[in-house]
Structure 1
Amino acid sequence: MTHTTRRTLAGISAAGLLATVLGVAASAPATAAPRAAALGTCKISTLPYPTDTYRADASVIDPSGRFIAGDGLRETEDGNQYLLLFWDGDRLTEVEAPSMATPADVNADGVVIGNGWGEGVNGQPWRYRNGKVEQLPVVPSATGISVTAINKAGDIVGLGTDVDTGEYFALRWPAARPGTVEVLDAPANAQPRGITANGTIVGTAGDFGYWTSWVRRPNGRYDALTVPGAQTSYVSAAAGHWAIGHVDLPDSIWVPVRWNLRDGSYTTLDPQSPSLEDVNAKGVVVGADRVVRGATSRVLPGGSDEVGIGARSISDTGTIVGFRNGERLTPVRWTGC
């Protein structure tokens, strides 16, 4: 049975700020990744969603596969009504938002983080926990503040822009110090993109189009994430001891790559999967209409020439969430893939 709870978001005005990730890529020593699931077991199903919406999407899933977050849009007499959608299994909770809101990540405790616009604030990230949405603290001297990832402990990472220089800088909201935000000593123009269970952070730095990628160890040490000969490197997500992104090589651009964070080694992924959205702790990658295991990929079911699909996030159990765009945009879940 599907259960739906409807709530109103009164304490925050949210508008999605998630930065679009551009990729680049490489090749080299391959590391072991999980075996492909048995053919024929991969199935798609529609998540419960408000039937009066004309679009609904599932953006993120937690590592356990239990919690999912997304957004929706319904038309009212006063215009569009934006919704945040939170699933606990098949139990759906709707939260009405005064403006567009976008979830960025969710952890195994069901804590969701996301981005939006606040009253007089250029960039107001938020957190949803215990059935309530709350604003996260921001840096007064910054603009465009957004969150990108949260780990099991509740540590959150994100970025802001210096109002004077226009450069990005890295931010962390430490779970051990509630109500605080700190600026990390990171490379210039740093943009954190992921944080793992042990506090390892990955991100990109540098000017637009001249990116380099980095990993910040729990002890504060920074190492490069790259590939020999790469002109640029862009990391987009991390989980366990894996990170994914792209590198730009002299003879090949936008090559999808999976790095092993333990030693910096890398594997070039199937070039048919140029879009990388997420990776789980087992190194399985999703993006566009594909799931990537090892160096090969397979197309997810549910799409056609007339119907588009998109995988956005994958749990450690292998459950994938995203959207199906047929007569309307609907949230979907893939299992056994």
Structure 2
Amino acid sequence: MTHTARRTLAGLTAAGLLTTALGVAVSAPATAAPRGTALDTCTISTLPYPTDTYRADAYVIDPSGRYIAGDGLRKTESGNQYLLLFWDRNRLTEVEAPSMATPVDVNADGVVIGNGWGNSGQPWRYRDGRIEQLPLVPSAYGLFVTAINKAGDIVGLGSDTDTGEYFAVRWPAARPGTVEVLDAPANAQPTGITDNGTIVVTAGEFGSWTGWVRRPNGRYDALTVPGAQTAQVNAATGHWAIGHVDLPDSPWVAVRWNLRDGSYTTLDQQLPLLDDVNAKGVVVGGDRVGRGTTSRELPGGGDGVGIGARSISDTGTIVGFRNGERLTPVRWTGC
């Protein structure tokens, strides 16, 4: 699983850093009015979040639906206090961050990865109640994680100090404390890694992107659509990947690829964004969830109230935000 709009930050050492489980306020669930038939069970509820924050958000959920990660912001006498928020079912743990930090992905063991801790821009990993920094590539000007799989393998990208070109990196779970630069097409930006080690990549110069899939044996196959002028891959889970292609008469077409054979399906073009896909091929983005070639609007929005779905588990639970009087983390079920 992986998620678009990747965020940047950095790690602290694992020496007992600022991790404190605090009391939280549980907002009453907000349930949408029935839409369509009386059997519609799609509902939205607010996740627990700290009472003294003025904004809180949920970014990622693991495939099992148990673990969720997000962030929050509270005002103090000295200024803003940034928070990382980790949910294990409904139990919330806060981690104070020295600057803005955002989770990027979480696996079924509850291991969270993210970017942007402190001032160094170094990526981090949260596991067993601790934040730890990930090793860096010396030649990189900026290094960012983008996805983690069940085994704990992490992929990301760096920018070369001399050329400015992007390159693909992997932190292998089998070799703790190491990072490797992958052989990949020029300007490769990995956006997902599946449980069998398959990696999806967008590569190429700005405006001339091509999608690729890297097989576990290291072979690369193109991931595109016949006649497409460009292809971007946003996320991957199981044997599914999602992204956009530009066709001669149809720019920005949303598609879902089958990674086993490279075949594709055009998605409902009402999906404004493609943020995540689960192992069943269900897609979320913006205020909609897509199944097959159709999509539906998620409940919870309305006049002056915005919603956004960011991540979906294999069980169908969706997490994201609701922005009304304040930004709050929410969860949709039965959709």
Tell me if TM exceeds 0.5.
yes
Cα pair distance change 1:187/1:39, threshold 3 Å: farther
Give the structure, 1 or 2, with the largest relative contact order (CA under 8 Å, sep 6 or more): 1
1:60 aligns with 2:21: no
The equivalent residue for 2:23 is: none
Asked if the contact 1:147–1:157 (Cα under 8 Å) also holds between the matched residues in 2, the reply is yes
Give, in whole Å, the separation in 2 of the partners of 1:181 and 1:11: 17
The equivalent residue for 1:72 is: 72
The equivalent residue for 1:128 is: 126
Q: 1:151 aligns with which of 141, 149, 159?
A: 149
The equivalent residue for 2:333 is: 335
Give, in whole Å, the separation in 2 of the partners of 1:166 and 1:309: 36
Give, in whole Å, the separation in 1 of the partners of 2:255 and 2:322: 26
List gaps (5 residues or longer) in structure 1: 1-8, 14-36
1:109 aligns with 2:109: yes
Asked if the contact 1:255–1:274 (Cα under 8 Å) also holds between the matched residues in 2, the reply is no
Asked if the contact 2:147–2:155 (Cα under 8 Å) also holds between the matched residues in 1, the reply is yes
The equivalent residue for 1:218 is: 216
Give, in whole Å, the separation in 1 of the partners of 2:176 and 2:111: 14
Residue identity in the other structure for 1:292: G
The equivalent residue for 1:180 is: 178
3-state DSSP of counterpart to 2:173: coil
The equivalent residue for 2:314 is: 316
Q: 1:268 aligns with which of 252, 266, 269?
A: 266
Deviation digits for residues 243-264 of structure 1, max 9, x if unmatched? Answer: 0000000101111000000000
Residue identity in the other structure for 1:105: D
- How much does 1:11 deviate? 3.9
3-state DSSP of counterpart to 2:187: coil
Give, in whole Å, the separation in 1 of the partners of 2:159 and 2:272: 28
Q: 1:168 aligns with which of 166, 169, 173?
A: 166
Identity between Structure 1 and Structure 2 (%): 84
Deviation digits for residues 156-184 of structure 1, max 9, x if unmatched? Answer: 00000001000000000000000000000
Give me the CA root mean square deviation: 1.5
Cα pair distance change 1:38/1:213, threshold 3 Å: farther
1:89 aligns with 2:89: yes
The equivalent residue for 1:232 is: 230
Alignment: residue pair count: 304
Asked if the contact 2:12–2:132 (Cα under 8 Å) also holds between the matched residues in 1, the reply is no
Asked if the contact 1:205–1:212 (Cα under 8 Å) also holds between the matched residues in 2, the reply is yes
3-state DSSP of counterpart to 2:296: strand
- How much does 1:144 deviate? 1.6
Give, in whole Å, the separation in 1 of the partners of 2:185 and 2:12: 37
List gaps (5 residues or longer) in structure 2: 1-10, 18-36
- How much does 1:305 deviate? 2.3
3-state DSSP of counterpart to 2:269: coil
Asked if the contact 2:12–2:133 (Cα under 8 Å) also holds between the matched residues in 1, the reply is no
Asked if the contact 1:254–1:274 (Cα under 8 Å) also holds between the matched residues in 2, the reply is no
Give, in whole Å, the separation in 2 of the partners of 1:156 and 1:38: 43
The equivalent residue for 1:29 is: none
Cα pair distance change 1:281/1:38, threshold 3 Å: farther
Residue identity in the other structure for 1:86: F
Residue identity in the other structure for 1:235: V
Asked if the contact 1:61–1:69 (Cα under 8 Å) also holds between the matched residues in 2, the reply is yes
Structure 1 runs of 4+ with >6 Å offset: none
The equivalent residue for 1:245 is: 243
Residue identity in the other structure for 2:210: T
Residue identity in the other structure for 1:42: C
3-state DSSP of counterpart to 1:92: strand
Give, in whole Å, the separation in 2 of the partners of 1:91 and 1:203: 35
Give, in whole Å, the separation in 1 of the partners of 2:211 and 2:237: 16
Give, in whole Å, the separation in 2 of the partners of 1:272 and 1:10: 41
Give, in whole Å, the separation in 2 of the partners of 1:272 and 1:97: 37
Residue identity in the other structure for 2:47: L
Give, in whole Å, the separation in 2 of the partners of 1:323 and 1:247: 27
- How much does 1:274 deviate? 2.8
3-state DSSP of counterpart to 1:53: coil
The equivalent residue for 1:198 is: 196
- How much does 1:10 deviate? 6.1
TM-score, normalised to structure 2, is 0.89
Give, in whole Å, the separation in 1 of the partners of 2:118 and 2:174: 25
Give, in whole Å, the separation in 1 of the partners of 2:38 and 2:258: 25
- How much does 1:208 deviate? 1.1
1:285-304 equivalences under 5 Å are 285-304=283-302
